[in-house]
């Protein structure tokens, strides 16, 4: 190869004639552990503050230092927040992946790279700016090498700000938010931003083809990850005990909850807490603690991921049969086994829905947005106590760990529903009416029995909770009729729950003969795909499931369609398996699967292409 100066003049795409405004994707490729996360957050937030809809996807390895990591910021003037595979602006900082990263760039794209990587000339259909980041950072006085390495990340933000016209004041504001308590860090980072911007100003000629322009589409919105949202939901739901074991991608939920509880569940004078958090020795213990706390009358939860769910299986069956409330958030990651711990999937459905041995079926709620992560986690506590059963919140890594734009969460208007609990006083009244209390009696013909809490002094109150066979009085039994009587009542309880859990959401062209059926984090991609399919002449009706057992509305939805594309992020079409077992057999053939399970979040294009192929289009 010739000198870099020659390459630069020879192998660069011409300056574009038009500019893409507020509708492109930036990807930053760095080495894990070099501190790029805060600068990526600042980049995303600065664009958000300019009123432009953004979403961020952090694609990180199961590693603390050294492996490659990517962060993608999508700008969408139309408000789409799903992952977009196509990359327009690429910041290549990682020598190990730079060539591949560059290969992914769309023709006409912009590549900002660390100068020693000498990427120019690798492709001639993109534009380049090589930046000698390390050298540039030497101009920051009083900084050691470690600090300078960190500041490089802010320097690429400065380069992008200059090239894409992100307002410097908004970067400074975003930095202020990032380093709340450290004003010195803000000014230091701003020096790096300015050096980056200055370098870009002096070394890049003409327009780069992409521009951020102020809009008014994010006013009043928040940016939050689903795990933080669920933590907020837990406190709105009145959670009092958290027991957990660290596991990606659910740890940040528990940590956020502990932080929030540390602020909002402390009595100001005494400093004593109304919230207990236990880091347990394993997931067997965390679910055991949750059940102990819930049995004693507190609202309790745990959060975990697939491997933890496997360990909780035994207690989940106990809670189902002994009828103890529990809230279990499963932030799903890619399996099987250890799988891809830092990648997303919706592949725990079958395991969770049927969790534990024997005839068990579990109640699940499935949030599709960060707002629902909050709302459904809060509601899960009501469902758990109302149905005296474990309630699983099926989130996933994409929803849980990525940053999403959302409307602020509304305050719940309904009071907490503590379910059927008989107090001492109520037992006295019942005794007066000649009605003795029995733990597993179906007194209201809805399958839901009444419970009493430990500490209740009434002589009728006490019973021994057990996972062994019991009759409607709570007594041990091996009698077939008594055993079945109780088991059938629990089945009735689940039918009551089916109708009471969050109903599916129907949208789109309600008359369309083509249906889209999805759930969870797939929602964002489906919304975007629906618009594109509409534009391509394929109108669709869209039903989003939000709970298991599936609501009766699912059947009505499928019955009205010629075909229903069931979109899921797993290999085995797990939701289809569940629905096929619950729908009338003649409807099952109408379900066609669109499956996405590589570990990256699903994008709209995947859905559009699959539906168009299925509909005979191109």
Partner 1 sequence: MSAPGKPKANRIGLPREAYTGGPSTLCPGCGHDSITNEIVAAFFELGIPPHRVAKFSGIGCSSKTPGYFLSRAQGLNGTHGRMPSVATGANLANRALKPIGVTGDGDTASIGLGQFCHLLRRNVELVYVIENNGVYGLTKGQFSATADLGSEHKSGGVNQQTPIDCCRLAIEMGCGFVARGFSADRAQMVELLKAALNFPGTALIDAISPCVTFNNHPSSTKSYAYVKAHEIVLHEVGFVEDAAPLPDPKLAPGETRELELHGGARIRLKKLAADYDPTRRLGALQALEEAEGGGAVLTGLLYFDASRKPFAEQCRLVETPLAGLPSESLRLPREALNEIMADLM
Residue with Cβ nearer partner 1 (5 or 272): 272
> How far is 76 from 407, CA to CA, in rounded Å?
16
Asked if 79 touches partner 1 (CB under 8 A), the answer is no
Residue with Cβ nearer partner 1 (270 or 618): 270
Asked if 215 touches partner 1 (CB under 8 A), the answer is no
Residue with Cβ nearer partner 1 (284 or 587): 284
CA proximity to 366, closest of 386, 396, 337, 393:
393
Binding mask 242-271 for partner 1 (x = CB under 8 A): -x----------------x---x--x--xx
Q: Which residue has the tokens 């950072």?
A: 137
Dig out the tokens for 280 from the structure: 């347990």
Residue with Cβ nearer partner 1 (31 or 241): 241
Residue with Cβ nearer partner 1 (224 or 583): 224
Binding mask 532-571 for partner 1 (x = CB under 8 A): ----------------------------------------
> How far is 161 from 110, CA to CA, in rounded Å?
13
- The residues in 318-337 that bind partner 1, with binding defined as CB under 8 A, are 318, 322
> Helix axis angle, 604-614 relative to 523-535, nearest 10°?
50
Sign of torsion over alpha carbons 483, 355, 381, 553: negative
Cα 533–519–581 angle (5° rounding)?
110
Provide the minimum distance between the beta carbon of 55 and partner 1 in the complex, in angstroms, as a whole number.
15
Beta bridge partners of residue 110, listed in sequence order? 89, 127
- Strand locations in 523-590 (E): 540-545, 547-548, 563-568
Provide the minimum distance between the beta carbon of 263 and partner 1 in the complex, in angstroms, as a whole number.
8
b/e map 377-400, b = 16+ CB within 10 Å: bbbbbbbbbbbbbbbbbbbbbbbb
Residue with Cβ nearer partner 1 (142 or 411): 411
Dig out the tokens for 187 from the structure: 């000014």
Asked if 452 touches partner 1 (CB under 8 A), the answer is yes
Asked if 468 touches partner 1 (CB under 8 A), the answer is yes
Segment interacting with partner 1, rule: CB under 8 A, options 14-22, 314-322, 336-344, 390-398: 314-322
Among 99, 203, 435, 466, binds partner 1 (CB under 8 A): 466
> How far is 73 from 75, CA to CA, in rounded Å?
7
Residue by residue, what is the 3-state secondary structure of 240-270?
Answer: CEEEECCCCCCHHHHHHHHHHHHHHCECCCC
Among 55, 377, 456, 569, binds partner 1 (CB under 8 A): 456
b/e map 280-316, b = 16+ CB within 10 Å: beebbbbbbbbbebbbebbbbbbbbbbbbbbbbbbbb
Q: How far is CA 400 from CA 254, 310, 334, in A?
A: 12, 20, 14
CA proximity to 224, closest of 102, 48, 355, 359:
48
Binding mask 280-299 for partner 1 (x = CB under 8 A): xxx-xxxxxxxxxxxxxxxx
- The residues in 100-159 that bind partner 1, with binding defined as CB under 8 A, are none
Among 16, 33, 108, 467, binds partner 1 (CB under 8 A): 467
Among 99, 214, 273, 484, binds partner 1 (CB under 8 A): 273
Instruction: Give φ, ψ of 36 to 5 degrees.
Output: -80, -15
Residue with Cβ nearer partner 1 (10 or 423): 423
SS3 169: helix
Residue with Cβ nearer partner 1 (379 or 602): 379
Residue with Cβ nearer partner 1 (22 or 228): 228
Residue with Cβ nearer partner 1 (48 or 199): 48
Provide the minimum distance between the beta carbon of 416 and partner 1 in the complex, in angstroms, as a whole number.
5
- Is 77 in contact with 216 (CB distance < 8 Å)? no
Beta bridge partners of residue 304, listed in sequence order? 330
Binding mask 345-374 for partner 1 (x = CB under 8 A): ------------------------------
Question: How many chain residues touch partner 1 (CB under 8 A)?
Answer: 75
Asked if 399 touches partner 1 (CB under 8 A), the answer is no
CA proximity to 508, closest of 530, 528, 524, 525:
530
Provide the minimum distance between the beta carbon of 456 and partner 1 in the complex, in angstroms, as a whole number.
6
- The residues in 403-442 that bind partner 1, with binding defined as CB under 8 A, are 408-409, 411-412, 415-416, 418
> How far is 6 from 120, CA to CA, in rounded Å?
10
* H or E, element range at 234: helix 226-236
Binding mask 13-52 for partner 1 (x = CB under 8 A): ----------------------------------------
Segment interacting with partner 1, rule: CB under 8 A, options 219-227, 327-335, 589-597, 606-614: 219-227
Asked if 478 touches partner 1 (CB under 8 A), the answer is no
Asked if 63 touches partner 1 (CB under 8 A), the answer is no
Binding mask 220-239 for partner 1 (x = CB under 8 A): xxxxx---x---x--xxxxx
Neighbours of 5 (CB within 10 A): 9
């Amino acid at each position: 190869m010739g000198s870099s100066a020659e390459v630069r003049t020879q192998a660069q795409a011409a300056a574009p004639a038009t500019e893409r405004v507020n509708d492109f994707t930036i990807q930053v490729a760095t080495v894990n552990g070099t501190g790029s996360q805060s600068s990526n957050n600042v980049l995303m937030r600065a664009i958000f503050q300019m009123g432009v809809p953004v979403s961020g996807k952090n694609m990180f390895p199961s590693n603390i230092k050294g492996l490659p990591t990517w962060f993608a910021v999508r700008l969408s003037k139309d408000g789409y927040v799903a992952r977009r595979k196509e990359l327009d602006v690429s910041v290549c900082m990682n020598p190990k992946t730079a060539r591949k990263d560059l290969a992914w760039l769309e023709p006409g794209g912009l590549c900002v790279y660390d100068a020693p990587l000498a990427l120019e000339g690798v492709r001639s259909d993109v534009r380049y700016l090589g930046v000698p980041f390390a050298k540039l950072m030497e101009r920051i006085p009083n900084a050691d090498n470690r600090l300078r390495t960190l500041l490089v990340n802010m320097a690429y933000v400065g380069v992008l700000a200059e090239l894409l016209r992100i307002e410097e004041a908004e970067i400074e504001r975003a930095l202020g938010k990032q380093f709340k308590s450290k004003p010195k860090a803000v000014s230091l980072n701003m020096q790096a931003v300015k050096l980056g911007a200055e370098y870009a100003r002096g070394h890049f000629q003409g327009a780069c083809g992409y521009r951020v322009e102020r809009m008014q589409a994010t006013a009043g919105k928040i940016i939050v990850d689903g795990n933080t949202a669920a933590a907020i939901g837990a406190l709105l739901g009145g959670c009092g005990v958290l027991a957990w074991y660290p596991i990606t991608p659910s740890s940040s939920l528990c940590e956020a909850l502990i932080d929030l509880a540390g602020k909002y569940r402390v009595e100001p004078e005494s400093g004593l807490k109304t919230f207990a958090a236990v880091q347990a020795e394993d997931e067997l213990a965390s679910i055991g603690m949750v059940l102990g706390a819930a049995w004693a009358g507190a609202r309790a939860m745990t959060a975990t991921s697939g491997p933890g769910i496997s360990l909780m299986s035994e207690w989940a069956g106990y809670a189902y049969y002994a009828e103890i409330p529990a809230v279990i958030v499963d932030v799903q990651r890619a399996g099987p086994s250890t799988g891809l711990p830092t990648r997303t999937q919706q592949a725990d459905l079958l395991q969770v829905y049927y969790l534990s041995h024997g005839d068990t079926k579990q109640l699940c709620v499935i949030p599709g947005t960060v707002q629902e992560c909050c709302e459904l986690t809060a509601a899960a506590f009501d469902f758990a106590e109302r149905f005296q059963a474990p309630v699983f919140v099926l989130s996933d890594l994409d929803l849980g760990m990525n940053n999403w734009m959302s409307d602020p969460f509304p305050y719940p208007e309904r009071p907490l529903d503590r379910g059927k609990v008989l107090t001492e006083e109520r037992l006295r009244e019942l005794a007066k009416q000649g009605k003795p209390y029995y733990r597993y009696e179906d007194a209201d013909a809805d399958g839901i029995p009444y419970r009493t809490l430990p500490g209740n002094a009434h002589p009728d109150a006490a019973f021994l909770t057990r996972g062994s066979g019991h009759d409607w009085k709570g007594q041990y039994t091996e009698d077939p009729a008594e055993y079945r009587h109780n088991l059938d009542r629990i089945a009735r309880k689940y039918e009551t729950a089916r109708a009471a859990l969050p109903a599916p959401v129907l949208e789109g062209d309600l008359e369309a003969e083509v249906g889209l059926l999805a759930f969870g984090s797939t929602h964002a991609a489906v919304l975007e795909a629906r618009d594109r399919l509409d534009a391509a002449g394929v109108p669709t009706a869209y039903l989003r499931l939000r709970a298991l057992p599936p609501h009766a509305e699912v059947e009505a939805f499928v019955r009205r369609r010629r075909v229903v594309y069931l979109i899921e992020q797993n290999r085995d079409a797990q939701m289809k398996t569940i629905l096929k077992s619950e729908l009338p057999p003649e409807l099952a053939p109408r379900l066609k699967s669109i499956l996405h399970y590589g570990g990256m979040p699903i994008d709209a294009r995947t859905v559009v292409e699959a539906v168009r192929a299925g509909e005979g289009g191109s």
